[in-house]
Amino acid sequence: IPKGEELVQAILDLKKEKNAVILAHYYQPPAIQDIADFLGDSLQLARQAKDTDANMIAFCGVHFMAEAAKILNPTKKVVLPDTQAGCSLADGCSGEGLRAMRAKHPNAIIATYINCNAETKAESDIIVTSSNAETIIESLPKDRPIIFAPDKNLGRYLAKKTGRDMIFWDGSCIVHEAFSMERIAQQMASVPEAKLIAHPESESAVLDLAHFVGSTSALLNYVEKDEATVFIVATEEGILHEMRKRAPHKQLIPALVFDESCNCSECFYMKRNTMEKLYLCMKYELPEITMDEDLRLRALKPIEAMLDMSK
Ligand code: 13P
Ligand code: SF4
For residue 27, the ligand 2 atom closest to its alpha carbon is 5
What is the per-residue DSSP string for 226-241? SS-SEEEEES-TTHHH
- Whether 115 lines ligand 2, by a CB cut-off of 6 Å, is yes
pLDDT in tens, 261-281: 886 799 999 999 999 999 999
Of the pLDDT bands very low, low, confident and very high (cuts 50, 70, 90), residue 156 is: very high
Rounded CA-CA distance 245/250 in Å is 10
Whole-Å CA distances, 272 to 54, 114, 125, 285: 25, 20, 31, 18
Question: Which domains occur in the chain, in start order?
Answer: 4-84+270-296 (3.40.50.10800), 89-172 (3.40.50.10800), 176-254 (3.40.50.10800)
One-letter amino acid of 304: E
19 is in an annotated binding site: no
pLDDT (0 to 100) of residue 310: 82
pLDDT (0 to 100) of residue 106: 97
User: Phi, psi (5° rounding) for residue 52?
Assistant: -70, 145
Whole-Å CA distances, 96 to 70, 148, 177, 297, 302: 22, 15, 25, 18, 17
Interface predicted TM-score (ipTM): 0.97
- Whether 115 lines ligand 1, by a CB cut-off of 6 Å, is yes
Nearest ligand, CA 26: 1
Q: pTM for the whole thing?
A: 0.96
* 252 Cα: distance to centroid of ligand 2 (angstroms): 21
- Whether 177 lines ligand 2, by a CB cut-off of 6 Å, is no
Nearest ligand, CA 45: 1
pLDDT in tens, 89-145: 999 999 999 999 999 999 999 999 999 999 999 999 999 999 999 999 999 999 999
Cβ-contact 89, 62 below 8 angstroms: no
pLDDT in tens, 48-68: 999 999 999 999 999 999 999
Rounded CA-CA distance 67/164 in Å is 30
